[in-house]
């Protein structure tokens, strides 16, 4: 009993000499510091991929918006009177993790007072960057070309894209995903076909290759395909050479293919252009 009382008094003496509350506060304070450091490190690691994406060269330099404007014209008079006009505006826009493209094209041709070609095309595409090479795309485009027998054609699509090469001089990327196509026939074609509109789900694919030939010239090849009830494809091959400053000359061959054209139409359309290009 005496020994027990002595041990009791000994522990009381030890506790009186040590401030337990102070020790607990110190331990809690150190735990909070460690937790703050852990949260800061986690935030930096999570933000790193997004910082890398924001610095991508979709738009060169420090700009977030850049574009190219093209214009070409051919006029002949005398025994043959022809007019050919081609215009194109291509804009690129960086917005956070999004890389967006806005495209407008117009083509008009006339021969001896008769319109022989008229085409208007618009496209909007947004690419959401998953990392440095992969992205999810959303695309919508609308075309007016009465010489195909259709008043208009609209397509929306979405899917996955991957950049196999992107080193600043060469770009090679592929896109694939589902899409939906809607067409409206003109009055004459609708009377012959027996219907006014057609629509179908399609498999949408894009393959794009761009490379610098020299410091002042670039080669580009792009294929676009939509496969559903019919197969429709588009190929554009171009070479661009700088003249002076932001002004360049562009030579392009565009081929459009439809494996099921309307009765009086051709399967293949070919377009050859020589235009002046201004980059801004």
Q: CA 7, 10, 16, 17 torsion: positive or negative?
A: negative
In this prediction, residue 61 carries a pLDDT of 60
Same domain flag for 62 and 185 = yes
Phi, psi for 266 (deg, rounded to 5): -85, 155
SS3 content of the chain, % helix, strand, coil (to 5): 20, 60, 20
The range of the structural domain enclosing residue 257 comes to 57-279
Q: CA 106, 109, 110, 114 torsion: positive or negative?
A: negative
In this prediction, residue 11 carries a pLDDT of 41
Same domain flag for 62 and 36 = no
**Last residue within a domain, chosen from 50, 67, 83:** 50
Same domain flag for 177 and 229 = yes
Same domain flag for 86 and 154 = yes
Same domain flag for 120 and 235 = yes
Q: How confident is the model at residue 51 (pLDDT cuts 50, 70, 90)?
A: very low
Same domain flag for 45 and 126 = no
**Number of independent structural domains in the chain:** 2
Same domain flag for 18 and 106 = no
Q: What is the pLDDT of residues 171-191, one digit of tens each?
A: 999 999 999 999 999 888 887
Same domain flag for 131 and 256 = yes
Provide the whole-model pTM.
0.75
Same domain flag for 35 and 154 = no
Instruction: Give the domain CATH number at 190.
Output: 2.40.160.40
Q: What is the pLDDT of residues 155-174, one digit of tens each?
A: 999 999 999 999 989 999 99
> How far apart (Å, rounded) are the C-alpha atoms in residues 32 and 27?
9
Same domain flag for 224 and 141 = yes
Same domain flag for 35 and 121 = no
Output the average pLDDT for the chain.
83
> How far apart (Å, rounded) are the C-alpha atoms in residues 167 and 190?
49
């Amino acid at each position: 009993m005496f020994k027990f009382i002595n041990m009791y008094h000994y522990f009381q003496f030890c506790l009186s000499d040590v401030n337990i509350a102070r020790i607990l506060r110190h331990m809690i304070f150190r735990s909070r510091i460690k937790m703050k450091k852990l949260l800061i490190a986690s935030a930096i690691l999570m933000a790193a991929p997004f910082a890398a994406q924001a610095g991508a060269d979709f738009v060169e330099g420090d700009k977030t918006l850049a574009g190219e404007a093209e214009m070409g014209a051919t006029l002949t008079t005398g025994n043959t009177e022809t007019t050919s006009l081609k215009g194109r505006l291509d804009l690129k826009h960086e917005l956070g993790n999004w890389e967006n493209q806005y495209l407008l094209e117009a083509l008009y041709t006339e021969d001896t007072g008769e319109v022989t070609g008229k085409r208007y095309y618009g496209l909007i595409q947004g690419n959401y960057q998953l990392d440095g090479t992969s992205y999810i795309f959303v695309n919508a485009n609308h075309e007016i070309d009465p010489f195909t027998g259709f008043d208009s054609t609209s397509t929306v699509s979405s899917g996955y894209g991957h950049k196999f090469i992107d080193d600043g001089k060469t770009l090679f990327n592929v896109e694939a995903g589902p899409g939906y196509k809607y067409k409206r026939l003109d009055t004459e074609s609708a009377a012959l076909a027996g219907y006014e509109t057609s629509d179908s789900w399609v498999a949408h694919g894009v393959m794009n290759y761009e490379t610098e030939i020299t410091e002042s010239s670039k080669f580009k090849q792009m294929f676009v395909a939509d496969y559903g009830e019919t197969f429709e494809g588009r190929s554009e091959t171009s070479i661009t050479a700088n003249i002076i400053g932001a002004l360049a000359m562009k030579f392009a061959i565009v081929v459009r293919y439809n494996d099921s054209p309307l009765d009086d139409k051709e399967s293949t359309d070919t377009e050859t252009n020589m235009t002046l290009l201004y980059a801004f």
